Structure 1
């Protein structure tokens, strides 16, 4: 089951939050049609709506990141480009309606929803941390701690706490980081971060 929109996914920007809510609604439609028969024309209409909406959303989100001087803007743009590219490939490789439904569900789940929950939330996390930096010293204890992404190697029971910038390099620049003890590549522990 895909997650539903929740206020905890807010990045405290009304326009972007409203767009994220709409994307969650579109994702719910994709999930709903994945379990029932559907005409190809209905499916194509949903894909077109999704595709057109994410293009507008990505432009607005990139503008917002630029306005707040988000330091990972170029990496975030690359992620948006990859999502758009995967949608185009999906549309071009249609074999059957069922094949299309299955691929669309994978794209929506693994790309879009995961992107909002993980990467878009980092925008808000960064914004909060910069606000606290500029606040009076009495607010120092409220400063958000930098998120760390948990990675594993081949050492038994060992996890590596990786900062967001390194996480982005591993995931999107295909740079490999190795454990100093076992020399194995670090692999992301799915969905796990530490505050």
Structure 2
């Protein structure tokens, strides 16, 4: 059965975000398992709705975190989140209208929007945060060095 797999390359190093990403992958795999078992359309729609709702909650929490750290690309990231939610809703409509979508197509869709978003956008949060911390550390070091003269 096709699955999405968590691995360390998806970790952004922020526990609260990483744990939610791991949970998102679990919920996505629940959806894929339900679809792969040939369950009825209602069961598939229920698990997809659960995935969408968890995603919306995760995005809300992730955006709150970005506000806390004053992430400069917050508005762009929020727009990506809105687009992803719309794509999931469209996928949900397509699934409802076309019962012949394969589990592989579903998995590829989920990999593209979930794993793709983590790699292409969320990892940038960690990169920016590391750069900010390094900059602060350099400034502190320069302040200490400058005061010793």
Match of 2:26 in 1: 25
Contact 1:11/1:124 (<8 A) preserved: yes
Q: Is there any run of 5+ residues in structure 2 with no aligned partner, and where?
A: 142-149
Question: What is the Cα deviation at residue 38 of structure 1?
Answer: 2.1
> Aligned Cα RMSD in Å?
2.5
Q: 1:98 aligns to what SS in structure 2?
A: coil
Question: What is the Cα deviation at residue 28 of structure 1?
Answer: 2.4
| Structure with higher helix content | 2
Contact 2:34/2:43 (<8 A) preserved: no
Question: What is the Cα deviation at residue 3 of structure 1?
Answer: 4.7
CA offset digits 1:125-148 (Å, max 9, x no partner): 1100110111137x9xxxxxxxxx
Question: What is the Cα deviation at residue 9 of structure 1?
Answer: 2.3
Residue of structure 2 aligned with 1:120, choices 102, 119, 122: 122
Matched, 1:68 2:74: no
Question: What is the Cα deviation at residue 40 of structure 1?
Answer: 1.1
Q: How do 1:1-195 residues align onto structure 2 when only pairs under 5 Å count?
A: 3-33=4-34, 35-93=36-94, 94-99=96-101, 104-136=106-138
Q: Is there any run of 5+ residues in structure 1 with no aligned partner, and where?
A: 140-195
Question: What is the Cα deviation at residue 117 of structure 1?
Answer: 2.1
The structure-2 alpha-carbon separation of the partners of 1:118 and 1:3, relative to structure 1 and needing over 3 Å to count, comes to farther
Calculate the TM-score normalised by the size of structure 2.
0.79
CA offset digits 1:135-164 (Å, max 9, x no partner): 137x9xxxxxxxxxxxxxxxxxxxxxxxxx
- Structure with the bigger RCO (C-alpha within 8 Å, sep 6+) is 2
| Structure with higher strand content | 1
CA offset digits 1:63-95 (Å, max 9, x no partner): 111111111111111110011111122223322
Query: Quick one: distance in 2 between partners of 1:136 and 1:119?
Result: 26
The structure-2 alpha-carbon separation of the partners of 1:112 and 1:96, relative to structure 1 and needing over 3 Å to count, comes to same
The structure-2 alpha-carbon separation of the partners of 1:7 and 1:132, relative to structure 1 and needing over 3 Å to count, comes to same
